[in-house]
Amino acid sequence: MTFSDIFQSNFLENVTSVSILDMVLALILSFGIGIFIFLVYKKTFSGVMYSSSFGVTLIALTMITTLVILAVTSNVVLSLGMVGALSIVRFRTAIKEPLDIAFLFWAIAAGIVLAAGMIPLAVIGSVVIGVVLLIFVNKKSYENPYIMVINCNGHDAEVKVKEFLEHQVSRAVVKSKSASKGNIELNYEIRMKDENTDFVTKLSELEGVHSAVLVSYNGDYLG
């Protein structure tokens, strides 16, 4: 093999299959859309523990997907080989929030559409998806649910607790009850009339009540 053969190889010909300008523009746009996805994720996050690394992953995933699709669209043979290579990749990280799956697919889809040259679709589509998520994810119900755990010492105290809650909150439903000799534990799901929690202190001072604990509950996590 001579130097002439090397310079005439298909490998070096593929170097110019995607122009430098296209690469730079695609990566800059993918970075911008990735930042937008990250900001929407940060704004709409409602889980227990916020992970900044997941937000950075969304930016990187958008750019990486754009990079891969640019390579695939420039060479049909390469696209077939890349499908086989990516098929062996497996991810074992558990997704804790169902909404995180939507953000992952959003980042991948934005990278694919952008690298395919459909820039208006990538930009306008991302803006629409972001607005929809901001509206619906941040939409809160008027009455937030709470769980109240009450320990009392008998039937009479249980009746007093029930009557007290009926006057203090807009809704109180018994979710569970456990009883042992001389002790009853009640778990109520309540809807408060306002954000004033002074009634919890008054409840704990009722005769026969040992303790009263109020816990915020969002439907997925208790704590």
Domain boundaries, the chain: 3-137, 145-216
Q: Are 101 and 57 in contact (CB under 8 A)?
A: no
Instruction: Please report which residue ranges of 16-139 form alpha helices under DSSP H.
Output: 20-44, 52-74, 76-86, 98-115, 119-137
Fold of 145-216: Alpha-Beta Plaits (3.30.70)
pLDDT higher for 76 or 20? 20
Percent of the chain with pLDDT over 70: 74
pLDDT at 131 over 90: yes
pLDDT higher for 192 or 217? 192
Res 3: pLDDT: 44
Res 140: pLDDT: 57
pLDDT higher for 143 or 144? 144
pLDDT at 6 over 50: no
Percent of the chain with pLDDT over 90: 20
Distances (CA, A) of 216 to 15, 145, 164, 200: 58, 7, 20, 13
Q: How far apart are CA 22 and CA 26, in angstroms?
A: 6
Q: Are 197 and 214 in contact (CB under 8 A)?
A: yes
Res 35: pLDDT: 95
Res 76: pLDDT: 58
Q: Is 95 helix (H, G, I), strand (E, B) or coil?
A: coil
pLDDT higher for 18 or 65? 65
- Highest mean pLDDT (candidates 33-37, 112-116, 147-151): 33-37
Report the chain's mean pLDDT, rounded to a whole number: 79
pLDDT at 42 over 60: yes
pLDDT at 197 over 60: yes
